[in-house]
Amino acid sequence: MFKKLVSLCLAVLMVAGLCAGFAGCAKANADFKIGVILLHDESSTYDKNFITAVEDAQKALGLSNSQVIIKKGIPEGNECYETAKDLVAEGCKVIFADSFGHEDFMIKAAKEFPEVQFCHATGTKAHTEKLSNYHNAFASIYEGRYLAGIAAGLKLKAMMEADSTIVPKIGYVGAFTYAEVISGYTSFYLGVKEIVPTVTMEVQFTGSWYDEAEEKNAANALINMGCVLISQHADSMGAPSACEDKGIPNVSYNGSTVSSCPNTFIVSSRIDWAPYVKYICEQTMAGKAIDTDWTGTISTGSVKLTDLGSKAPVEGTQAIIDQYKAELVAGTRHVFDTNNFTVNGEKLTSYLADVDDDGTYTGDTEVVKDGYFHESEYRSAPYFDMEIDGIHRINSKF
Amino acid sequence: MANVRHGTVKEPFIHITKNAAMPFWKGLLIRASAVIAAFILCSLLAYFLIGANPGEFLKTFFEGNFGSNAASAKLRIWKLAKDTAILLCIALAITPAFRMRFWNIGAEGQVLISALASVAVVYYNAGRLEDGPLLVLMFIASIAAGMIWAVIPAIFKALWNANETLFTLMMNYVATFFVAYCLVKWTPNGSSVLGELKTGHLPSFGHDYLVLILVVLVTTAFMFVYLYYSKHGYEISVVGESQRTACYIGINVKKVIIRTMALSGALCGLTGFLLVAALDHSVTTTSVGGRGFTAIIVSWLAKFNPLIMIGTALLLVFLNHGAGQLATVFRVSFAFPDVVTGIVIFFVIGCEFFIRYKVHFRRKTRTAQVADNGSGGGGGALDSPGDNEKPDIVPDKGGKLK
């Protein structure tokens, strides 16, 4: 009985193996391949944003699935380096990684394979490593958050006009006290302040990029403190759903939350990585150099705002957003214009930012010139990390 | 013990008896057919869920482990060996405690805290010591950290009979948050990403992973001898079988519990040290990545025998790599590889039933008496580890005709 079963199984296996052999022969040899290394899979909004971008770029370039290899769930350790090597062995000409902690392991692989291009989103070391095949990329998402702030400001103004007892205090749920988060909430605050000059903001950190319960708690704590509008920089639905429960308007991040928060969703900003993925593929295929530090902007299509919510936003918001957007694109308006904020009661005239990630955590580059803070110009990843007046951090242990 | 039934009594359609002795080859054959059957089921699932034909399914599974060309073959075979070694090392660590029926599910935290200890040594050394003495310090720190993390619940168990399962589980969370705390402290820019440390790298000979693999192989041999041919190993078995018996024959149970958990912790410490010094050169809250829990399956499937664990660890890593490649090639979420792994493990565990018990179907004509040896009714195959080594005591659970 068992022998029969085993021989049957073996026969099936052999036939299957034969089929596999033929299937393998049929595949055409394509000379261009890109490898993509992701920290999680689509269950994280952060990684899902990258997956969507890669698939969009693939479609635009007409590449087949075998030419775009996506490796999900790669931790920030030796396995990243191992995966990069594996992708090289599979014939990838350019390799892209999406998480900040992948950086050192990508650099290690870049040094070993000088003929392959390595591109890393959110990293900080490309401009100091000076490798011709290692590149960083980010987007001027502070401009997107500023525009989202404008939409929030209009809502806040309307709320104050409707009810004169409302104190203009808003709340923000942040992940870590990291420049990317600080730059984000400051630009959001400045957007709101543009419309409501008396606004103040409370920031609560969670110490994690993804912690649904903690983000929900933080949002609820802010609401209980009297914050009348909430935004966040963390990857779960914690804060938006807390806002929906309590009827507090919310500005989201990474994508629209209108389907689960129809009453309170105003707008969301997000980085669209498709233009960058497309760019690195095209440059590699053409044998051209890739920028060491690439900063996507509104013009490149990298910084995007979603459609406005259906109920929460004020009428006419889109037109005002478009007007500010045009000014940002034209360069006549700067988010971090030193006339629009103060630090310790004084106007900012000079600031040494920690642009070179050399392990010393000290400022090294003057970034205030021509009356504004030059964010994402000396490297693509944000470095605005100041505490400006009007924003209060409730906890800063992270 | 045999109860006698006469032909007039209605015999159940299926009845189950304990299988006293099955030849080794037959057991192996049953296990192999279980794996093959599981693969057939998985390939059907793959066909209906993600549209992969069985040929592609097997090819992809194979390529995930052994590569699709010469260059990737070399990388992936080494990766297979390395991942097996790490998983095996953690499984070896929990095995002595499990043989003692001390349910240590805290290997995840014990390894993580040891990795943190190694990283802390490198971080605070800040390049002062050479790699030689630095590695010795890292090794000592990791072993000590692993032992402390394991001995705390052991003391509570030995002295106050605190539930070790909950205790070791909670220690995992403490370890994770302790790592998160240190990372915040060590990265003033708020990124919580330490990056790759430049010092404290284990030297490599031949291949980057060779030292690690050899260390784990030597540890496996040591653990086999320790558990099967030493007085300590015997004491562990006795305490596991019956604490009263152990007391009666003069074994200090408290001492054995604490000593064994210290050994478990030390081996977790070794794993943590290897993770940092040979592989990651860094630490994150997910450095161990659930392997502390997977190791429990490795150890249990092998019936706590270190030599068989080589095979079970290899099987689990093989499944993980193969199914991971499926997710990559067919662009499906990571849930699918987990389903595949789950099905195969389910079949492997399930087939143990057919090895331990014999299934009899009712025959059409009955004349003779049926001797019913009153089997326990066939509980789960995993209900009692080490059953094979015990004398066959027939439980009297049925007892209806007495």
Q: Tell me whether residues A16 and B33 touch, CB distance under 8 A.
A: no
pLDDT digit string (tens) for B198-247?
999 999 888 999 999 999 999 999 999 999 999 999 999 999 999 999 99
Best mutation target, B196, B275, B351, to test chain A (most A CBs within 10 A)? B196
Q: Tell me whether residues B279 and A90 touch, CB distance under 8 A.
A: no
- DSSP label of B9: S
Of A269, A270, A219, A215, which Cα lies nearest the Cα of A248? A219
In this complex, the residue of B29, B74, B192 whose CB is nearest that of residue A6 is B29
In this complex, the residue of A13, A105, A361 whose CB is nearest that of residue B189 is A361
Mean pLDDT on B380-388? 42
Q: Tell me whether residues A89 and B67 touch, CB distance under 8 A.
A: yes
Chain A residues closer than 8 Å to B281 by CB: 78
My answer on whether B34 and B80 are in the same domain is no
Strands B14-18 and B357-361: antiparallel
Which amino acid is residue B265, in one-letter code?
Answer: G
Q: Chain A: nearest CA to B331, how far in angstroms?
A: 8
Mean pLDDT on A57-74? 94
* Phi, psi dihedral angles at B140 (to 5 degrees): -60, -45
In a domain? residue B387:
yes
Of A130, A54, A158, which Cα lies nearest the Cα of A292? A130
What percentage of chain A has pLDDT greater than the value 70? 92
Average pLDDT of chain B?
88
Question: How many CB pairs below 8 A link A and B?
Answer: 131
Strands of the sheet with A134-139, listed across from one edge: A68-71, A34-37, A94-97, A117-121, A134-139, A293-296
Residue in B with minimal Cα distance to A43: B333
Q: Which of B253, B282, B306 is the last residue of a domain?
A: B306
Confirm if A90 and A55 have CB atoms less than 8 A apart: no
Superfamily grouping for domain A34-139+274-296: Response regulator (3.40.50.2300)
Q: Tell me whether residues B55 and A13 touch, CB distance under 8 A.
A: no
Chain A residues closer than 8 Å to B76 by CB: 86
In a domain? residue B120:
yes
Is 50 exceeded by the pLDDT of residue B387? no
A6 — pLDDT class (breaks 50, 70, 90)? low
Q: Tell me whether residues A65 and B331 touch, CB distance under 8 A.
A: yes
Query: HEC profile for chain A?
Result: CHHHHHHHHHHHHHHHHHHHHHHHHHCCCCCCCEEEECCCCCCCHHHHHHHHHHHHHHHHHCCCHHHEEEECCCCCCHHHHHHHHHHHHCCCCEEEECCHHHHHHHHHHHHHCCCCEEEEECCCCHHHHCCCCEEEEEECHHHHHHHHHHHHHHHHHHHHHHCCCCCCEEEEEECCCCHHHHHHHHHHHHHHHHHCCCCEEEEEECCCCCCHHHHHHHHHHHHHCCCCCEEEECCCCHHHHHHHHHCCCEEEECCCCCCCCCCCEEEEEEECCHHHHHHHHHHHHHCCCCCCEEEECCCCCCEEECCCCCCCCCCCHHHHHHHHHHHHHHCCCCCCECCCCCECCECCCCCEECCCCCCCCCCCEECEECCEECCCCCCCCCCCCCCCCCEEECCCCC
Structure tokens at B60: 């992809």
Per-residue CA distances from B33 to A62, A82, B288, B358 (Å) = 44, 34, 32, 17
Structure tokens at B197: 């440390």
B12 — pLDDT class (breaks 50, 70, 90)? confident
Q: Tell me whether residues B188 and A20 touch, CB distance under 8 A.
A: no
Residues 6+ apart with CB under 8 A from B294: B87, B90, B316
Q: Chain B: nearest CA to A214, how far in angstroms?
A: 14
My answer on whether B174 and B293 are in the same domain is yes
CA B245, B250, B253 angle in degrees (round to 5)?
Answer: 70
| Torsion angle of C-alpha atoms A59, A63, A65, A70, degrees rounded to 10 | -80
What percentage of chain A has pLDDT greater than the value 90? 84
B396 — pLDDT class (breaks 50, 70, 90)? very low
β partners of residue A150: none
Q: Tell me whether residues B286 and A75 touch, CB distance under 8 A.
A: yes
Strands A265-271 and A303-305: antiparallel
pLDDT digit string (tens) for A135-162?
999 999 999 999 999 999 999 999 999 9
Q: Tell me whether residues A77 and B32 touch, CB distance under 8 A.
A: no
β partners of residue A257: none
Which residue is it, tokens 């408290």? B254
My answer on whether B241 and B146 are in the same domain is yes
In this complex, the residue of B59, B279, B284 whose CB is nearest that of residue A101 is B284
pLDDT for the residue numbered A28 = 34
DSSP codes joined into one string, B340-386? HHHHHHHHHHHHHHHHHEEEEEPPSS--S-EEE--------TTSSTT
Chain B residues closer than 8 Å to A88 by CB: 71
pLDDT digit string (tens) for A201-257?
999 999 888 889 999 999 999 999 999 999 999 888 899 999 999 999 999 998 889
Q: Tell me whether residues B189 and A385 touch, CB distance under 8 A.
A: yes
Q: Tell me whether residues A23 and B29 touch, CB distance under 8 A.
A: no
Distance (Å, rounded) from C-alpha B60 to C-alpha A68? Answer: 16
Chain A residues closer than 8 Å to B191 by CB: 100, 176, 178
A359 — pLDDT class (breaks 50, 70, 90)? confident
* Phi, psi dihedral angles at B321 (to 5 degrees): -70, -45
Is 90 exceeded by the pLDDT of residue B64? yes
Task: Quote helix, strand, coil % in chain B, to nearest 5.
Answer: 65, 5, 30
β partners of residue A201: A170, A391
In this complex, the residue of A65, A77, A397 whose CB is nearest that of residue B280 is A77
Global confidence as pTM: 0.87
Q: Residue A22: CA atoms inside 13 Å, Cβ hemisphere, count?
A: 8
Per-residue CA distances from B70 to A72, A90, B56, B75, B77 (Å) = 23, 10, 19, 9, 11
Q: Tell me whether residues B33 and A2 touch, CB distance under 8 A.
A: yes
**Residue B17 vs residue B180, higher pLDDT:** B180
Q: Which stretch, A86-95, A349-358, B3-12, has highest mean pLDDT?
A: A86-95
Residue in A with minimal Cα distance to B37: A9
- How high is the ipTM of this complex? 0.86
DSSP codes joined into one string, B82-128? HHHHHHHHHHHHHHHHHHTT-----HHHHHHHHHHHHHHHHHHHTT-
Q: Tell me whether residues B195 and A103 touch, CB distance under 8 A.
A: yes
In a domain? residue B331:
no
Which conformational region is residue A306 in: left (phi greater than 0), alpha (psi within -120 to 50 degrees), or beta?
Answer: beta
Mean pLDDT on A96-123? 97
My answer on whether B225 and B105 are in the same domain is yes
* Phi, psi dihedral angles at A385 (to 5 degrees): -135, 30
Q: Tell me whether residues A20 and B26 touch, CB distance under 8 A.
A: no
My answer on whether B348 and B295 are in the same domain is no
Which conformational region is residue A201 in: left (phi greater than 0), alpha (psi within -120 to 50 degrees), or beta?
Answer: beta
Best mutation target, A72, A385, A398, to test chain B (most B CBs within 10 A)? A72
Intervals of CATH 3.40.50.2300 along chain A: 34-139+274-296, 141-270+304-393
Q: Tell me whether residues B189 and A6 touch, CB distance under 8 A.
A: no
Is 60 exceeded by the pLDDT of residue A22? no
Best mutation target, A36, A39, A176, A206, to test chain B (most B CBs within 10 A)? A176
| Torsion angle of C-alpha atoms A42, A47, A53, A57, degrees rounded to 10 | -90
In a domain? residue B172:
yes
Residue in A with minimal Cα distance to B190: A178
Residue in B with minimal Cα distance to A51: B331
Chain A residues closer than 8 Å to B43 by CB: 16
Distance (Å, rounded) from C-alpha B239 to C-alpha B255? Answer: 11
In a domain? residue B61:
no
pLDDT digit string (tens) for B329-380?
999 888 888 899 899 999 998 998 888 888 888 776 554 444 444 444 443 4
Radius of gyration of chain B (CA): 24
Domain count, chain B: 2
Which conformational region is residue B314 in: left (phi greater than 0), alpha (psi within -120 to 50 degrees), or beta?
Answer: alpha
My answer on whether B238 and B380 are in the same domain is no
Chain-centre distance of CA B62, in angstroms? 23
My answer on whether B221 and B277 are in the same domain is yes
Range of the domain at B260: 73-306
pLDDT digit string (tens) for B158-190?
999 999 999 999 999 999 999 999 999 999 888
Chain A residues closer than 8 Å to B196 by CB: 104-105, 108
Of A184, A104, A176, which Cα lies nearest the Cα of A138? A184
Q: Tell me whether residues B287 and A43 touch, CB distance under 8 A.
A: no
Is 60 exceeded by the pLDDT of residue B385? no
In a domain? residue B33:
yes
Mean pLDDT on A46-62? 94
My answer on whether B113 and B156 are in the same domain is yes
**Residue B5 vs residue A36, higher pLDDT:** A36
In a domain? residue B278:
yes
Q: Chain B: nearest CA to A71, how far in angstroms?
A: 6
Distance (Å, rounded) from C-alpha B217 to C-alpha B307? Answer: 10
Mean pLDDT on A20-45? 70
pLDDT for the residue numbered A396 = 77
Q: Chain A: nearest CA to B30, how far in angstroms?
A: 8
Q: Chain A: nearest CA to B164, how far in angstroms?
A: 28
pLDDT for the residue numbered A50 = 95
Least confident among A309-313, B306-310, B376-380: B376-380
In this complex, the residue of B75, B190, B286 whose CB is nearest that of residue A85 is B75
Chain B residues closer than 8 Å to A206 by CB: none
pLDDT digit string (tens) for B81-112?
999 999 999 999 999 999 999 999 999 999 99
Four-way CATH pick for A141-270+304-393: 1.10.540.10, 3.40.50.2300, 3.30.2040.10, 2.60.120.560 = 3.40.50.2300
My answer on whether B102 and B33 are in the same domain is no
Of B300, B296, B298, which Cα lies nearest the Cα of B311? B298
Distance (Å, rounded) from C-alpha A303 to C-alpha A295? Answer: 10
Is 60 exceeded by the pLDDT of residue A15? no
